[in-house]
Amino acid sequence: MIQAVKKLVQRAGLRRQHLEAARMYGERHALAVAAPFRSPRARGRILCYHSVGQPEFGVNDVTPSRFRRHIELALEQGYRFVAPAEIAATGGGPKDIAISFDDALKTVLTQADPILREHKIPYSVFIVSEWSEQKHDWEKTGVLGWRELEKMRADGVELGSHSATHRDFGEVDVERAKREFEQSRNTINERLGFTPDVFAIPFGQSRNWTPCADKAAREAGFTTIYAQAEETRPPGTIPRTFVTRFDDDRIFKALLRGAFDRWEEWTWTY
């Protein structure tokens, strides 16, 4: 009996994932057509990727060939790749673009890094400190470990914090938030010998951050806080544009034009 219920729940979960992915696919195609032009931006754009060839991460995963295509499309359109920190600090120019990765997943190093290196493109990676401890099997195979991150940093990659355990900061109380900030900073310091001052908000959309979390993050020592949204981002945060696995040439070009600047991933609740 319990097994049967478990199976039903599991199936419902899978069905929900499929529905969400189908909705996202539909929305992104529709917006790419319906919002072909927006007024030109005054500032640069920071792209937010996750994995590049780890399909288990679903909508967050972009295949290596598609990732390469995104870089080529941006270059063809006259964009100039700069470090995310440059856009965060100055706002950048309308043709400035930057690359960042959340979650510090393996394929950033194995798949994306060679492509970025080929084009001499700087990038940033945001670490979930407990995931990079690799205590679980999926972390050992899917997440970058400290030795890999140390090497990347030596090669010029900017590393920041993405919290200790990837909580939704729109949901946790301020004490828990403080522990997350301190733990991630301490662990990164112990493992890599530096304390990060940049932070990317887990999930990173309007409902995943609060003024209390923002205050606690800044008190903990974070000076730059990245969202995963553009116009709907929480106040005081640096905008980033979320890139999804559905972003083919047409959608990616629309993304560069700002078609998704008011779009958020999780607008539906069940």
Residues that bind Zn ion (CB under 5 A): 102-103, 202
Amino acid at 63: T
**Which neighbouring-strand residues pair with 224?**
198
Rounded to the nearest whole angstrom, what is the least distance from the CB of residue 115 to Zn ion in the complex? Answer: 21
Our CB check for Zn ion shows the closer of 50 and 70 to be: 50
Which are the contacts of 20, defined by CB distance < 8 A and separation ≥ 6? 59, 268
Q: What does the alpha-carbon distance between residue 168 and residue 147 come to, in Å, rounded to a whole number?
A: 27
Q: What does the alpha-carbon distance between residue 110 and residue 72 come to, in Å, rounded to a whole number?
A: 19
Rounded to the nearest whole angstrom, what is the least distance from the CB of residue 233 to Zn ion in the complex? Answer: 15
Our CB check for Zn ion shows the closer of 160 and 202 to be: 202
Q: What does the alpha-carbon distance between residue 164 and residue 177 come to, in Å, rounded to a whole number?
A: 10
Rounded to the nearest whole angstrom, what is the least distance from the CB of residue 240 to Zn ion in the complex? Answer: 12
Burial per residue of 111-124, b for 16 or more beta-carbon CB atoms within 10 angstroms, e otherwise: bbbebbeeeebbbb
Rounded to the nearest whole angstrom, what is the least distance from the CB of residue 247 to Zn ion in the complex? Answer: 18
Rounded to the nearest whole angstrom, what is the least distance from the CB of residue 50 to Zn ion in the complex? Answer: 7
Our CB check for Zn ion shows the closer of 142 and 202 to be: 202
Question: How far is C-alpha 202 from the chain's CA centre?
Answer: 8
Select the residue whose beta carbon is closest to Zn ion and give its number.
102
Our CB check for Zn ion shows the closer of 41 and 240 to be: 240
Phi, psi of 126, rounded to the nearest 5 degrees: -110, 120
203 by Cβ neighbours in 10 Å (0-12 / 13-18 / 19+) ranks as buried
Rounded to the nearest whole angstrom, what is the least distance from the CB of residue 202 to Zn ion in the complex? Answer: 5
Q: What does the alpha-carbon distance between residue 6 and residue 16 come to, in Å, rounded to a whole number?
A: 15
Our CB check for Zn ion shows the closer of 227 and 254 to be: 227
Amino acid at 65: S
Our CB check for Zn ion shows the closer of 32 and 200 to be: 200
